[in-house]
Amino acid sequence: MNYILFDTNYIRTFLLPLTYFRPISKIRCGILTLKEKWEYVLQSSVSVLTEEYLLQKFPVKYQQDNIYINSAVFPDERLVAAINKLQRREVLVKNDLVLAIRQERLTFDAVQTIRINDDNKVLYQGEVEFINRPYDIFTKNAKQIKSDFSLITSGRTGQKLSSTNTKIGKHPVFLEEGAVVEAVIFNTDDGPVYIGKNVKILEGSMIRGPFAALENSVVKMGAKIYGGTTLGPNTKAGGEIKDTVFFGNANKGHDGYLGDSVIAEWCNLGADTNNSNLKNNYSNVKLWDYNQRNFVDTGLQFCGLIMGDHSKCGIATMFNTGTVVGVCSNIFGGNYQPKFFPSFKWGGQQHTDYRYDKAVEVAKAVMKRRQKQFDKTEADLFEKVYHLVKEIER
């Protein structure tokens, strides 16, 4: 069977700015991205059906018979069984959410307007968990780390933790090949710790599970990292971090607090950057909503920073509770920054447009440092996002 993960326009917009540069299925929550989770559970490669401007980098692969799966949904065995039972032209539905479609070739627009009636509708009776807001990523992260840990370490034996380390708690610490971990304190009372290939955790670090650090990440000396935190590949992390997801290729290499946050790729947080994740009056946090173009109550008491791809901030930057930063912005200056900082901007409370050529120049330099090439595909995507931002954030 050919599996395709499809995006919906509705959820994609709610997840901005995190979906400017990627399909929903490339969002990381837990150890794995949504796409990787489905590939593990299905034991099959999957492609993605998303907006046209992303297809050059994330192409869709069709066959004569395809099963389309909602990319925002987390997989589980019961759901997979129901999906695989679908007959041609049937649509699996939970309440108003389309979970899966078995159909011939469908375009992105056709998936958005799929017709559902009594003849083709199959009602799913199980529970469904999915993401449709940026804060779902960090609020669900601890649970997803535990789930992914069981998925990818089952039946495997990792490297042995050396005697220079201290481990407290009942859950395991799993080290992949090439991981270097010395003189670190682990507390696994609340969940496991996953250390990926060639990860370095430097001496004096204190880490509580559930926690994951993926391939080539570095935890700096004396870091204090609480549970519910994921460091995506090639991420550098230092200071104090709690309930935060780094998608990958990002830096928070110095002291400063970051909590209840999501940091996309190619971001850099300057030394002593801090964010608030709790209001002084303990009321619910409001967050910028791209659909409503306004601040909307999250229902959360704890909510920190959502930062889009390629954005940076200078030293000692202060982010208020529930701040959203768009893509490709450069933030600096004293005092708290705006709670919504748009894309392709330069400055602080008073900001101006970030020159496109300068933004490209920085992106090339940053990617080169990670041995990644800013090739034609990346250049085309960058330009398309630049023009898309003008439409969405005008």
**Hey, which residues does 263 pair with through a beta bridge?**
246, 307
* Same-domain pairing of 252 and 198: yes
Reading the block at residue 86, the tokens are 């679908």
Residues 185 and 106 in one domain: no
Could you tell me the sign of the dihedral formed by the alpha carbons of 30, 33, 36, 37, in that order?
positive
CA proximity to 206, closest of 248, 252, 240, 173: 240
Bond into 192 cis (ω within 30): no
CB atoms within 10 A of CB 70: 24
Q: What is the pLDDT of residue 373?
A: 92
Examine the fold and report which residue of 132, 162, 186 is the final residue of a domain before the chain moves on: 132
Q: Mean pLDDT per 10-residue run, the chain (394 residues)?
A: 96 98 98 98 97 96 97 97 96 96 96 92 96 98 98 96 98 98 98 98 98 98 98 98 98 97 98 97 97 96 98 97 98 93 95 94 94 94 96 89
CA 172, CA 170: separation in Å to the nearest integer?
7
pLDDT for res 394: 79
Indicate if 316 and 198 belong to the same structural domain: yes
What pLDDT is stored for residue 334 in this prediction? 84
Same domain for 33 and 168, yes or no, is no
Residue 63 and residue 79 in contact, taking contact as beta carbons nearer than 8 Å? no
Q: What's at 159, amino acid-wise?
A: Q
Could you tell me if 124 and 148 lie in one domain? Answer: no
Q: Are residues 285 and 347 in the same domain?
A: yes
Q: Which of 117, 132, 147 is at the close of a domain?
A: 132
Among 98, 132, 166, which residue terminates a domain?
132
Based on the structure, what is the number of domains in the chain?
2
CATH number at residue 333: 2.160.10.10
Helix residue ranges, H only, 126-243: 134-139, 141-153
Looking at residue 380, its pLDDT comes to 97
User: What is the residue range of 311's domain?
Assistant: 135-392
Looking at the structure, tell me whether residues 336 and 222 fall in a common domain.
yes
| Burial of 206 per CB tally in 10 Å (0-12, 13-18, 19+) | middle
- For 356, the enclosing helix (H) or strand (E) is helix 356-369
**Cα distance between residue 91 and residue 87, in whole Å:** 9
Is 345 found in the same domain as 245?
Answer: yes
Tell me, yes or no, whether 226 and 353 share the same domain.
Answer: yes
Predicted local distance difference test score (pLDDT) of residue 335: 87
Judge if 279 and 295 occupy the same domain.
Answer: yes
Task: Please indicate, yes or no, whether residues 265 and 127 belong to a single structural domain of this protein.
Answer: no
Q: Take residue 351 and report the two structure tokens written for it.
A: 């900001």
Per-residue pLDDT at 155: 94
Please tell me whether residues 227 and 275 are part of one structural domain. Answer: yes
